[in-house]
Amino acid sequence: MVEAFQDLRWGPANWCFVHLSDWWVKSLLIIAIGLAADLASRRRFPLAAVLAAISYLVATLLANILKAATDRPRPSVADPAIHPLIAVPGSSSLPSGHAAGAFAAALAVGLVHPRLRWPLLLLAGLIALSRVWLGVHYLTDVIAGSALGCVVAYAAFRIAVIIGARTSSP
């Protein structure tokens, strides 16, 4: 799949994918959208923003732990015919930390504000896809990272629901 993307590369698309892969898009932008939605809904507690931040941090930490355990070489390291468009990180390829963090934050916000779920998951999908387009991950890396992020966000949301139910009980 990485090789197929190399054949599709095109200047404007390359620029978009480079910037979709920027650290602040997968984290601060999605958390800020959650905060804006919290404020617009007049929530007393910014639940979406807090869950997105926690989910992002936990998913990224777990992805880094799994990277150390898997030690999968990056595509360009395994195949010199692959030419990445950005600097290749020195960490393992599996799972994608970008995908894990983006999906964790996006789903966390989407669970609190369902109308934002699909647009944010689309954004997270584009962030994950950017890593393959840029030549620094395999498709399976971003699928694994995406799944990890979704599991973390759902678990965080369920814990918040349980805590909320306990604190609102008489």
Domain-wise residue ranges, the chain: 2-167
Per-residue pLDDT reduced to its tens digit, 37-92: 999 998 789 999 999 999 999 999 999 999 999 989 999 998 888 889 899 999 99
> What number of H helices and E strands is found in the chain?
9, 0
Give the Cα separation of 170 and 160 in Å (integer): 18
The pLDDT of 139-144, averaged and rounded, is 97
Give the Cα separation of 110 and 10 in Å (integer): 32
Class of 2-167 in CATH: mainly alpha
Which of 167, 134, 37, 52 lies closest to 101, judged by CA? 52
Give the Cα separation of 52 and 157 in Å (integer): 9
**Average of per-residue pLDDT values in the chain:** 92
